[in-house]
Chain A
Amino acid sequence: MGTAYTPGLKVTPRTTVQKTRRLPLKGQVTVQLGDLVQPETVVARTELPGIMQTVRVAERLSIEASDVPPLLKVSVGDHVERGTVVAENKSFFGLLTNQVKSPVEGVVELFSPVSGHLGIRLTPSPVEVDAYIQGKVTEVIPEEGVVIQTSGALVQGIFGVGGERLGELKIIVGGPDEVVDEDRITEDLAGKVAVGGSNITGPALKKAAGFGVAGIVVGGIIDKDLIEYLGHDIGVAITGQEKIPTTLIVTEGFGVMRMAHRTYDLLKSLEGKRASINGATQIRAGVIRPEIIVPTAEEITTSAGPDEQSLDVGTRIRVIREPYFGILGEVTALPPEPVLVESGSKVRILEAELETGEKVSVPRANVEIIQE
């Protein structure tokens, strides 16, 4: 028995999913324990304080900071409108009046006698958190948020961009090794989550974004197509905040990568159902993988299974590094002693028979387990 270093991504038709929905600062929870919620249900809300606008009164009136206080027309705590006179100075024997007006609407928050500046806090903006998934509120975190639980299918991708979206699943290819080109993207996909095969072309992705497709799920994406779609290069794999119209979820990796049969078959079986998807990815410090969640009516009490997987003879694997990248196989032996590989490193390997029929040795770090 051994351990795979890269846990397999979850691809399961029946599991329990829990999501914590939290505000960025303290606020109000708007649902109760036990409530049944839809993805669009607002579960918590708060107000994000506005930025404080600095009004440089001393500079504007061309006076010393210490001379400002008697000229102020407002006090800390006063509400002001845009254009409200906040300070006034008369000069030239009272014939000339210099006024400083507030450039914004807000509340006077501070006056600094050292700099002669007034600080006006803009009106707060509301922030709401929705449920994201259809389910039941199983925990309330006072003033912060809730935990929602649902049962259904969960598909994790390897990498994604774009945030949370909701849409009906639609398969737009005939098989997991077909490429999604422009012709497959049609207007009726607007608001839907389109499932493709091995790749989506750059022009097709652009077209999908133009039509307002909620999400695209494919096996692979070519690096330059992704960069063109995002408008910038990707440095570190921390995503989810991109301001893009269509969330993209990649299930296998970069390049033209046939979607795993299991993943494709599961998504096909869920066609027509509403999916909550999220392209957010974080590879380190608390791994987050992109996901597709499709709740079902059936109550399930078990979760998707433990994260730690063990390798045994007979375990189904996928190789995730050259020279056998993406190929499926089955473990045939697990030699205990480290072995010298071509690169010159001495590492623990496994022996496998690939779906191509080839018998190979692969470092154990270079496989992921196919979860059954």
Chain B
Amino acid sequence: MPDIRTILATDCGSTTTKAILIEKQGDEYRLVVRGEAPTTVESPFDDVTVGVMNAVREVEELAGRRILVADGGTRGQGDAGSAIQMPSKDGAGVDMYLSTSSAGGGLQMTVAGVVMSMSAESAERAALGAGAIIIDVLAVDDGRKEYEKVQRIRELRPDMILVSGGTDGGTVTHLVEIGEMLVSADPKPRLGIGVRLPVIYAGNKDAADAVRQVVGERVDLKVVDNLRPRIDRENLYPAREAIHELFLQHVMQQAPGYGKLSSWTSVGIMSTPNAVGKIIQTIADKERINVLAVDIGGATTDVFSVFAGNFTRTVSANLGMSYSICNVLAEAGIQNIRRWIPFEIDEWQLRNQLRNKMIRPTTIPQTLRDLYVEQAVSREALRLAFIHHKSLARELKGVMQTRTISDALSQGTTGKTLVHLMDLDMIVGSGGVLSHAPKRAQSALMMLDAYQPEGITMLAVDSIFMMPQLGILSEVMPEAALQVFDRDCLIKLGTAISPVGTGKEGRMAVTVTLDGGKHEIPFGTVKVIPLAGGEKKTVEIVPVGGFDVGAGKGRSRTVEVEGGVVGLIIDARGRPLNLPPDDETRIRKLKEWLSALGLDQAG
């Protein structure tokens, strides 16, 4: 590879296009500046490259460096040639240009399988891993009558359907039935009249011809390798790649200017959630840690996890902080939101407030009370998205495992979640409400409340949401991506020590000793010990009796912990975290915890 010294990377979101400039400084790559501009896929522009150039112009201004070609970079539609000068020369231009995108509203898919908890679930994982939003999962055994499934397919109008089912050599009839169901529904895609719906068949290879015969020319059928060729094996890659390919075509259809943009980039455009997944996997692999990352946006919440090398991504397409805020209300219930608010508020006033945010999504909290209402909603959105994620991030169901005597006696079943909070090393939060909380300690508290991490966990936020750009960079220059991620992207809030167990309010729960200083933390409290970012200390953690910090109940641990902008956080509120049921006590405790983290209390 030629010497790459300057890299430009953009992410074209639904609303905003963000551009970052990375430079090699000495031996390492560092972020220089970031710019942004509104995304321009809709009229009157109808060309995504306009927004890209606007964002790049901001980068040029801030960096004092020309990046666009010397004719001013005013490229209209139909103009040939890239607007980005490559390679760099005489202090202008860049050596590499990469881009990711989530514009076009995302890829909406329906998946269909034979058995809900096996092939349908594997198909769901394949689709999510490819960056799609799943609008329904159908299975032969999903409990719905055939006409209900047929009606559902008709109503949904997905962008594409993924069909799976049957191990190779297994059932054929059920796959043909799914084909018949598709023919019956005669589904039309969301976009375009007269366009055939793309259907990816990734089931039993022996049934492919029969399915093709049934569906004929009614759909645009593409056959790939079985995504569950054996009951104990998933092979998601071919299906994911087929989805990804179709996704790019879809994006090109829906986001004008993408063909032109692709001709400017050094490698193919990647979808934003795909890219975020890549950087998370890269971090987990390199550091050999278990990571949970979340991106909570206005409409959706993406959750990514890597546990023991297993990567899972879920999209809760119905949980977000503005457009979907009332879905959070509907799913969580008003009481679950209200419980996180550290002051009295009338239930109906709260409901109307959230509705008004839904219909005016670009407004922001001006008062502290308003901010705390939003942060209460975010806790519930994060919690619910996490529950959804845990249900999908699990071992393969239907797998016979070789058991030892103790396995057999413990009667464990397969299909258990892979997400074990005690083994979680790091949580990375991203999205406006987390990345741009006015005080970093608010982000820390939101993540502690929503996820209730156990044992020892580093809490961090993505400072300016550049994970997509670093994700695509990690495909071509993983070291550079990691350097920028570590030094410029990630803001470490600090290590949280969270003993598992419950106790009596006020009684000692855990003792933490560092630098010879002993800190005794009672149950029901949170304590912050100053420990700056980059500082590492060895601490001895001694939990009382029934509490466990990862070595067993009552057993101490001596570990090295890292600090952050908040510090070393001891969360002795118990796991699970139970809030007092009466309002007065609950509000008092919430205020206490805010104070412990140095946060203001709303009047």
A interface residues (Cβ-Cβ under 8 A, vs B): 5-6, 22-26, 49, 51-54, 65, 109-110, 112, 114-115, 117, 119, 144, 158-159, 222-224, 233-237, 253-255, 281, 283-286, 320-323, 325, 341-345, 347, 362-363, 365-366, 368
CA separation between A159 and B438, bound complex, in Å? 30
Contact between B367 and A325 (Cβ–Cβ < 8 Å)?
Answer: no
Q: Which residue of B lies closest to A323 (CB)?
A: B367
Q: Give Cα distance in the complex from A345 to B351, angstroms.
A: 24
Q: How far is the CA of A345 from the CA of B366 in the complex (A)?
A: 8
Assess the A322–B370 pair: CB atoms within 8 A. yes
* Residue in A51, A115, A158, A325 whose CB lies within 8 Å of B177: A115
Closest to B319 in A: A235
In the complex, the answer to whether B352 meets A223 with C-beta atoms within 8 Å is yes
Docked complex Cα distance between A295 and B364 (Å): 37
Q: Knowing A54-B180, A325-B356, A344-B438 touch, does A110 contact B318 (C-beta < 8 A)? A: no
Residue of B nearest to A7 (CB): B362
Q: Tell me how many residue pairs across A and B have CB atoms closer than 8 Å.
A: 170
Top-3 shortest CB links A-B = A344-B438, A235-B327, A52-B184
Are A52 and B323 in touch, CB under 8 angstroms? no
Among B185, B298, B318, B360, which residue has its beta carbon within 8 angstroms of that of A51? Answer: B185
Nearest Cβ on chain B to A248's Cβ, whole angstroms? 13
Inter-chain contacts of A285 with B (CB < 8 A): 14, 105
Q: Which residues of B contact A286 (CB under 8 A)?
A: 42
Asked whether A321 lies within 8 Å of B363 as measured between CB atoms, the reply is yes
In the complex the two chains form, is B147's CB within 8 Å of A51's CB?
Answer: yes
Q: Contacts A49-B186, A115-B176; is A344 near B193 (CB within 8 Å)?
A: no
Bound CA span A368–B361, Å: 12
Is B444 an interface position by the 8 A CB rule?
Answer: no
Give Cα A320–Cα B600 distance, bound, in whole angstroms.
25
Known: A51-B185, A223-B351. A284 touches B366 (CB 8 A): no
The size bracket of the interface on B is: 35 or more
Q: How far is the CA of A6 from the CA of B322 in the complex (A)?
A: 14
Interface residues in chain B, defined as those with a beta carbon under 8 Å from any beta carbon in chain A:
14, 42, 105, 146-147, 150-151, 154, 172-173, 176-177, 180, 183-186, 188, 193-194, 210, 213-214, 298-299, 318, 323-324, 326-327, 329-331, 348, 351-353, 355-356, 358-371, 436, 438-439, 600
Contacts A51-B185, A114-B176, A284-B299 given; does A235 touch B364 at CB 8 Å: no
Contacts of B370 in A (CB 8 A): 321-323, 343
**Inter-chain pairs besides A5-B362, A158-B360, 16 sampled, C-beta below 8 Å:** A6-B360, A22-B193, A51-B154, A52-B184, A54-B180, A54-B184, A119-B183, A159-B359, A234-B326, A236-B326, A254-B356, A281-B359, A343-B365, A365-B362, A366-B363, A368-B360
Q: List 22 A-B contacts (CB under 8 A).
A: A23-B193, A24-B188, A25-B188, A51-B147, A51-B150, A52-B183, A112-B176, A114-B176, A158-B359, A222-B352, A224-B351, A233-B330, A235-B318, A236-B318, A283-B358, A283-B361, A284-B299, A286-B42, A321-B356, A322-B369, A344-B438, A347-B364
Asked, given contacts A54-B146, A285-B105, whether A342 binds B368 with beta carbons under 8 Å apart, the answer is yes
Provide the bound-state CA to CA distance between A224 and B172, in Å.
Answer: 50
Contact A366 B364, beta carbon cutoff 8 Å: yes
Partner of B324, one of A224, A235, A345: A235
How far apart sit A158 and B356, CA to CA, in the bound complex (Å)? Answer: 10
B362 partner residues in chain A, CB cutoff 8 A: 5-6, 365
* B193:A112 contact, CB within 8 angstroms: no
Q: Smallest CB–CB gap between A367 and chain B, Å? A: 9
Q: A236-B323, A284-B14 are in contact. Are A114 and B173 (CB under 8 A)?
A: yes
Known interface pairs A115-B173, A322-B353. Does A363 touch B364 (Cβ–Cβ under 8 Å)?
Answer: yes
Identity of the chain A residue whose Cβ is nearest the Cβ of B351 in the assembled complex: A223
Q: Bound complex: CA of A158 vs CA of B351, how far in Å?
A: 17
A22 to B194, CA, bound (A): 13
Smallest CB-CB separation from A65: which chain B residue? B173
- Residue of chain A at shortest CB distance from B364: A365
Among B151, B180, B355, B366, the residue within 8 A (CB) of A342 is B366
Q: Are A321 and B360 in contact (CB under 8 A)?
A: yes
CA distance A51 to B194 in the complex (A): 18
CB-CB under 8 A from B172, the residues of chain A are 114
Main secondary structure of the interface of B (DSSP, over half): helix
Q: Which residue from chain B places its CB closest to the CB of A54 in the assembled complex?
A: B180
Chain A residues, Cβ within 8 Å of B105: 285
User: Are A110 and B214 touching (Cβ within 8 A)?
Assistant: yes
Q: A223 contacts B355, CB within 8 Å? A: yes
Q: What chain A residues lie within 8 Å of B150 (beta carbons)?
A: 51-52
Chain B residues near A159 (CB-CB < 8 A) = 359
The one of A112, A114, A115, A345 that contacts B364, using a Cβ cutoff of 8 Å = A345
Given contacts A25-B193, A235-B326, A366-B363, contact A344 B355 (CB under 8 A): no
A254–B355 CB distance below 8 A = yes
A233 CA / B331 CA spacing, docked (Å)? 10
Given known pairs A114-B210, A224-B351, A320-B363, the reply for A345 and B186 (CB within 8 Å) is: no
What residues on A are CB-neighbors of B183 within 8 Å?
A: 52, 109-110, 119
Q: Are B438 and A112 in contact (CB under 8 A)?
A: no
Taking CB atoms, residues of chain A closer than 8 Å to B327 are: 235-236
CB distance from A276 to the nearest CB of B (A): 22
**What residues of A have a CB within 8 angstroms of the CB of B600 in the complex?**
344
Shortest distance in angstroms between B520's beta carbon and chain A's nearest beta carbon? 32
Q: Which residues of B contact A236 (CB under 8 A)?
A: 299, 318, 323-324, 326-327, 358
Q: Which among A6, A255, A283 has the greatest number of chain B C-beta atoms within 10 A? A: A283
List the A side residues contacting B173 at CB < 8 Å.
Answer: 65, 114-115
CB distance from A319 to the nearest CB of B (A): 9
Q: How far is the CB of A110 from chain B (nearest CB, A)?
A: 7
State the CA gap A112–B361 with chains docked (Å). Answer: 51
Residue of A159, A236, A362 with most partner-chain B CB within 10 A = A236
- For A114, the chain B residues whose CB sits under 8 A away are 172-173, 176, 210, 213-214
A366-B371 Cα distance, complex, nearest whole Å: 14
Residues of A contacting B184 in the complex (Cβ-Cβ under 8 angstroms)? 51-54, 119
Q: Is A342 within 8 A of B176, CB to CB?
A: no
Q: How far is the CA of A323 from the CA of B368 in the complex (A)?
A: 11
| Interface residue from A5, A52, A366 paired with B366 (Cβ < 8 Å) | A366
Contact of B438 among A24, A158, A320, A345 (CB under 8 A): A345
Most buried by A among B14, B360, B367: B360
Q: Which residues of A contact B193 (CB under 8 A)?
A: 22-26, 144
Select from chain A the residue with minimum beta-carbon distance to B360.
Answer: A320
Indicate the member of A109, A114, A224, A366 with the most B CB atoms within 10 Å.
Answer: A114
Which A residues lie within 8 Å of B326 (CB)?
Answer: 233-237
Given the known interface contacts A235-B327, A236-B327, the answer about A343 and B366 at a Cβ–Cβ threshold of 8 Å is yes
A125 CB to closest chain B CB (Å) equals 12
Chain A residue nearest in CB terms to B179: A112
Q: Which residues of B contact A222 (CB under 8 A)?
A: 348, 352
The verdict on A237 contacting B358 (CB below 8 Å), with A112-B176, A286-B42, A322-B353 known, is yes
A275 shortest CB reach to chain B, Å: 22
A341 touches B366 (CB 8 A): yes
Cα–Cα, bound, A347→B371 (Å): 14
Alpha-carbon distance between A49 and B213 when the two chains are bound, in angstroms: 20
**Smallest beta-carbon distance B270→chain A, Å:** 21
State the Cβ distance, A48 to closest chain B Cβ, in Å. 9
A236 CB, min distance to chain B CBs, angstroms = 5
Cα(A49)–Cα(B186), bound, Å: 8
Contacting pair B180 A115 (CB below 8 A): yes
B180 and A323 contacting across the interface, CB-CB below 8 Å:
no
Of the listed residues B146, B177, B359, B600, the one surrounded by the most CB atoms of chain A closer than 10 A to its CB is: B359
In the assembled complex, the CB of B209 is this many whole angstroms from the nearest CB of chain A, namely: 9
Closest to A220 in B: B352
**CB-CB < 8 A to B439: which residues of A?**
344
Q: Determine how close the nearest CB of chain B comes to the CB of A308; give it in whole angstroms.
A: 10
| Minimum C-beta distance from A115 to chain B (A) | 5
User: B210 to chain A: which residues have CB within 8 Å?
Assistant: 112, 114
Chain B residues with Cβ under 8 A from A23's Cβ?
193
CB proximity of A36 to chain B, nearest CB, Å: 26
B184 CB to nearest A CB, Å: 4
